[in-house]
Structure 1
Amino acid sequence: MLTNWSGNHPYAAARVHRPTSVDELATVVAGAEQVHALGSRHSFTDVADTPGDLVATDALPETVEVDPSRRQVRVSGGTTYGRLAERLHAEGWALATMASLPHISVAGAVATGTHGSGDRTRSLAAAVAGLEYVDATGALRSVRRGDVDFDGSVVALGALGVTTHVTLDVEPSYDVRQDLYVDLPWDVALANLDALTATGSSVSLFTDWASGRVAQVWVKSRGTEPPPTLYGAAAATGTLHMLLGADTAAVTEQGGVIGPWHERLPHFRMAFTPSRGEELQSEYLVPRTHAPAAVSALLSLAPSFAPLLQVAEVRTVAADPLWLSPAYGVDVVALHFTWLRDVPGVYGVLPAIEAALLPLGARPHWGKCFVAPAADLRPLYPRFDDFRALAARLDPEGTFHNQFLTRHLDLP
């Protein structure tokens, strides 16, 4: 039985295809009544499922073509960010950001609005300059930045087609250092949150919410010097994993050792299973102005969900113009939960968390566990109905629709 990476979701598809060419992919899509793309299977729900035909894209020919004059790279959608990063770095190029996991596919991460971290760093999807995809008829379509449908087509949850290639912005390769600090009280962190998240190009705060403290602060920066102050937090004296007792060999190098961007920006090394593997994840991205209220709410709610929590992470993401991006139009603070793989338990506590966070404008990460239906999500996305109209126009028969899209976007 095919399951997602965590093992909590068995795919319901009647058939799974692994085409080895775009022509073969087009034939499969054109002949299917219901079909959906499947990437690296790092989503935790049925967002990439269908009762019909699943199409895995990892067997399509790998393409990594850099255009130095445009500062862009054209990459096959099934390629992982880790593999892309290695190829780019070898040619002297880099991405502006990476997610904490390098194991995820480019097309899948983009389609769900996955992000890295940084006050001035936008989501992975915001780096997209163009998409090529197979539509419901089996025809190959393309859309580029500036086209009328572009901002609705990037974070699209697989509702418009199966992505074959993505064109991304790149920049010259650079180095990053990663410094860790420990034991910062939440009242100090909240009082200095804006300055704290500005101490590096990417800053992560790890907490259990129940102790009232930030256990670890991970600061990734392009500069050669460590942050001048972390508000009383002590510098870590050795390599740390954010999960107590987990193998530190899995995390990227720390201790201020300067190294290539792709070996520091992710939290985890490509060669290792990230986190512990058996887990669930949720994430809510709240407008930055409401972050103090959101943090206070989670500190109050912590006793109700702490037994289910492995660790929580707080990061920042800059605004982008993509219709279904959780950072659409506003700088956000991302509140991430790594849960035990206890499906009933986690889904039992999510309604109270969402009741506290959604009124503050928090938007759930599309690829992670949440319960909010379309009626609750519509007010959070100003272009919600514009996306639904785009999907209806490009896929009038609902070939790419699934239960997830019906439940959360009100697609028929």
Structure 2
Amino acid sequence: MELTNWAGNVRFRASRIANPATVDDVREILTGPGGVRALGSGHSFSLIADTDATLVSTAGLVSEPRVDPDARTVTIGAGVRYGDLARALEAQGWALSNLASLPHISVGGAIATGTHGSGDGVGTLSSAVAAIELVTATGDVLTLRRGDAAFDGAVVSLGALGIVTAVTLDIEPSFEVRQRLYERLPLETALAHFDALMGAAYSVSLFLRWTDPDVVDQVWTKSRGEDAPAIPGDPAPATESLHMLAGVSPEACTPQLGVPGRWLDRLPHFRLSHTPSSGAELQSEHLVPRRHAVAAIRAIRELADDIAPLIQVTEIRSMRADSLWLSPAYETDAVGLHFTWLPDQPAVEAVVAKIEAALAPFAVRSHWGKLSAMTAAARAAVWPRLADFAALSRELDPEGRLRNPYLGFLDEL
């Protein structure tokens, strides 16, 4: 049976699929011959996990969460899905500060690709990592903790340093969230008051469908307080539950209309119990420093005629700066411009190249797990520690067994 990613646009070429359940299983794989790549939940749209050798599924690397209440951390296997972890934490009165829109993704895979949620005061998912355990290409088990010399380089790892087997994350006491939606905010109003808009709630997402390129179709807010956020321009509050895609049932979406509920049932856009779509889509995401966000969005607006025929929806989200070398928010507050495309890869790739060219003056960093045309030189220009990461990968994987064509840019540094 052919193995594909979730979207079906990547057909893995692996000659062998391994399904380890323990650290010793992973060590046995890595002490054997040949190339190796790790696969999380398969939600990446790029060729980051592809290999013609051994593909290691981390889905079996799960464990019961071990909560340390004094340190406010939880340790779990890298294959655990965020939604499953969230349920286990809530049962003990704990929470994560942030979740991505999909709770279906694995912890290890999300961290390795720099995936994020949203919120001016909230870091990426990777920024919550307090410690990471991985098996290197030589079969050695390495544990790195926040503050260790190589830690900031090893969290967003692209799978180039080893197979991550366990992760320790920061936690906090459980909390409630209210999710409210607003419709049809003029784009110029949003840009004129961008900081106030993105800071109006704990988490804010702007959705544009580009049928009218001068309108933000929906504003999604997630608040930890009772009061409704003050949205610049006073757009109309939604009076019924909505999906961000036109004409799609909101059944798969988390509860809205300001009804309070548990953090795990509001921070993601989608319910764990529902598949949000059939996978018939492609995605790209392009992240810029917060200081360039308004200019970058204006540049995207100029490409509306190219984007509109291929787009399902664009989402704009924000995140706090961190110190992780390959994070999209490395040393800068960042804004992500996320595109969910129709599944026409040649046409989408052509538009993505135009988007990245338009955003190049704004120090754009494209998501590691999504479609991108960025060259090694372009990546090195915006991730100043990329050469240091390449050196770390050579130190931990001197024979390049964890490399694949996607990571070829590391050989140019």
From 397, 400, 410, give the equivalent of 2:399.
Answer: 397
Letter in 2 for 1:95: L
Task: Give how far 1:48 is off.
Answer: 1.0
Unaligned runs of at least 5 residues, structure 2: none
**Which residue in 2 is equivalent to 1:83?**
84
Write the mapping of 1:106-255 to structure 2, written as runs, cut at 5 A: 106-209=107-210, 211=212, 212-255=214-257
Task: Give how far 1:348 is off.
Answer: 1.4
**Which residue in 1 is equivalent to 2:58?**
57
**1:21 aligned onto 2:22:** yes
State the secondary structure of the residue aligned to 2:393.
Answer: helix
* Separation of aligned partners in 2, 1:380 and 1:137: 31
Task: Give how far 1:308 is off.
Answer: 0.5
* TM superposition score normalised by structure 2: 0.98
Letter in 1 for 2:358: A
* Separation of aligned partners in 2, 1:86 and 1:324: 29
Q: Could you report, residue by residue, the CA deviation over 1:65-124 in whole angstroms, capped at 9, with x for unpaired residues?
A: 000010000010000000000000000000010000000000000000000101111100
The percent of aligned pairs where both chains have the same amino acid is 53
Unaligned runs of at least 5 residues, structure 1: none
* Separation of aligned partners in 1, 2:334 and 2:7: 27
**1:270 aligned onto 2:272:** yes
Task: Give how far 1:361 is off.
Answer: 0.7
CA contact (8 A) 1:62 1:79 kept: yes
**Which residue in 2 is equivalent to 1:374?**
376
* Separation of aligned partners in 2, 1:298 and 1:391: 35
Letter in 1 for 2:128: A
From 279, 299, 302, give the equivalent of 2:301.
Answer: 299
* Separation of aligned partners in 1, 2:94 and 2:81: 16
CA contact (8 A) 2:62 2:78 kept: no
* Separation of aligned partners in 2, 1:275 and 1:333: 25
CA contact (8 A) 2:196 2:232 kept: no
Task: Give how far 1:230 is off.
Answer: 4.1
Q: Could you report, residue by residue, the CA deviation over 1:159-218 in whole angstroms, capped at 9, with x for unpaired residues?
A: 000000000000000000000000001000000110011110000000024511000000
Supply the RMSD in Å over aligned alpha carbons: 1.1
* Separation of aligned partners in 2, 1:277 and 1:3: 11
Q: Stretches of 4+ moved more than 3 A in 1?
A: 408-412
**Which residue in 2 is equivalent to 1:37?**
38
CA contact (8 A) 1:113 1:326 kept: yes
* Separation of aligned partners in 1, 2:411 and 2:224: 43
* Separation of aligned partners in 2, 1:275 and 1:32: 38
**Which residue in 2 is equivalent to 1:48?**
49
* Separation of aligned partners in 1, 2:398 and 2:231: 56
* Separation of aligned partners in 1, 2:231 and 2:130: 38
Letter in 2 for 1:162: I
Inter-CA distance 61–294: structure 2 relative to 1 (3 Å threshold):
closer
Letter in 2 for 1:351: A
State the secondary structure of the residue aligned to 2:309.
Answer: helix
* Separation of aligned partners in 1, 2:293 and 2:171: 31
State the secondary structure of the residue aligned to 1:307.
Answer: coil
CA contact (8 A) 1:13 1:52 kept: yes
* Separation of aligned partners in 1, 2:11 and 2:231: 47
* Separation of aligned partners in 1, 2:412 and 2:80: 29
* Separation of aligned partners in 2, 1:74 and 1:104: 17
**Which residue in 2 is equivalent to 1:3?**
4
Q: Could you report, residue by residue, the CA deviation over 1:128-151 in whole angstroms, capped at 9, with x for unpaired residues?
A: 010001111112111110100000
Task: Give how far 1:375 is off.
Answer: 1.4
**Which residue in 2 is equivalent to 1:386?**
388
Inter-CA distance 328–284: structure 2 relative to 1 (3 Å threshold):
same
CA contact (8 A) 1:181 1:230 kept: no
* Separation of aligned partners in 2, 1:279 and 1:160: 30
